[in-house]
Structure formats: C-alpha cells, structure tokens
C-alpha cells in the first residue's frame, strides 16, 4: 500500500471548504489565531524552532523527535488501514496512513512537513474528530481532540514545552 496519496481536486475542494467552515480559517501573517478548533485543544509555542536561533544539530534532533512522536500519536488514534488528511495551504494535499512508511523528500522532510515551513500544515482526521495544525507565522502547533491530546501528553515532544492557549 502507498502513503502520501494525492487528493483529487474534488477531495481537495471539499476538505478546504470544511477547514474554512469548521475552523473559521482566515489565513494571516499577523492576526492570531487564524483558526478556531473545538475543545479540547492545546496550542504550543514552537517559534524558537522556526526563528533560526538553534544550531542545525539541535534543530534536526527536535524535528525527528516530533516526527517520531507524531507518528506514534497518530497510530494511537487511527486504525491500521485508516488514512487521514495531510494538508499544506495552497499546495496539493494528501491521504496518509501512520502505519505505512513516511518517505522523505530531498530536504529530509515528509512531503508535508510536521513543522510548518512557511505555510499552514494540517493533519486532520477524515471526520474532523482530531487534528494537528501548524501555524507558520504564529510559530505554533495546535492539537485538538481528546485522544490525540492524550497521546501527545503521554509522550510529549521536546518542542511542546510552552503552551500558548488551552481550551
């Protein structure tokens, strides 16, 4: 089975319409938050990992730590054959399955990176029961859905040390 299956245009249109409707998503480089997720949620400040203040070795360690812990958390909230949305604002979106290999690109990142790299990067369950939403300009990651929050709390990534908001 393949991972990173590109969404059809119809699927892409449908999911972004839901993101705009359900999260009142209004992309902005200065007005935060740019989206509103249902309770419970936790928003973590990851800005120090985006501003170039860390050396490459520390940054690489923390990115890998987040990738590994995210895959583990996603596995805890999905079934073996279940896919969920992986979205990169204004770029193609994908179906991904955390039980399959997550190949990396030429920059040693997932096709849609777990850390927002200049665009909003979202990982959302098909029925919007949980999600992992990266905001590049606020320098934050928001997790919603009780089970996903609990999975990350049991094995907290190094990046998740500072909470900005909780609901």
- pLDDT tens-place string over residues 86-132: 999 999 999 999 999 998 888 888 999 999 988 999 999 999 999 99
Confidence check: pLDDT of 56 > 70: yes
Confidence check: pLDDT of 1 > 70: no
Residue 52 pLDDT grade (very low, low, confident, very high; cuts 50, 70, 90): confident
pLDDT at 109: 87
Confidence check: pLDDT of 2 > 90: no
Closest CA to 143 of 165, 111, 161, 113: 165
Query: 53 or 5: which carries more pLDDT confidence?
Result: 5
Tokens, residue 150: 């609990």
- Contacts for 45 with CB less than 8 Å, ≥ 6 apart: 139, 140, 162, 163, 164
Q: Are 151 and 145 in contact (CB under 8 A)?
A: no
Could you give the C-alpha distances from 74 to 11, 48, 145, in angstroms and in order?
Answer: 21, 24, 12
End-to-end CA gap in the chain: 37
Average pLDDT over residues 78-85: 95
pLDDT at 94: 97
pTM summary value: 0.95
Could you give the C-alpha distances from 153 to 31, 64, 69, 119, 160, in angstroms and in order?
Answer: 28, 17, 10, 25, 9
Confidence check: pLDDT of 139 > 90: yes
Residue 38 DSSP symbol: P
pLDDT at 141: 98
């Amino acid at each position: 089975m393949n991972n990173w299956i590109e969404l059809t245009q119809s699927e892409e249109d449908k999911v972004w319409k839901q993101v705009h409707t359900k999260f009142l998503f209004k992309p902005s480089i200065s007005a935060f938050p740019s989206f509103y997720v249902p309770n419970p949620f936790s928003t973590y400040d990851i800005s120090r990992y985006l501003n170039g203040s860390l050396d490459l070795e520390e940054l690489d360690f923390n990115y890998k730590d987040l990738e590994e812990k995210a895959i583990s958390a996603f596995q805890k909230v999905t079934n073996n054959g279940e896919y969920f949305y992986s979205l990169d604002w204004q770029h193609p979106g994908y179906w991904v399955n955390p039980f399959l290999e997550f190949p990396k690109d030429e920059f040693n990142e997932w096709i849609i990176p777990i850390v927002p790299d200049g665009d909003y990067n979202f990982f959302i369950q098909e029925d919007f029961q949980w999600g992992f939403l990266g905001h590049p300009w606020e320098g934050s990651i928001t997790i919603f859905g009780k089970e996903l929050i609990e999975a990350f709390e049991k094995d907290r990534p190094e990046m998740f040390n500072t909470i900005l908001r909780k609901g």
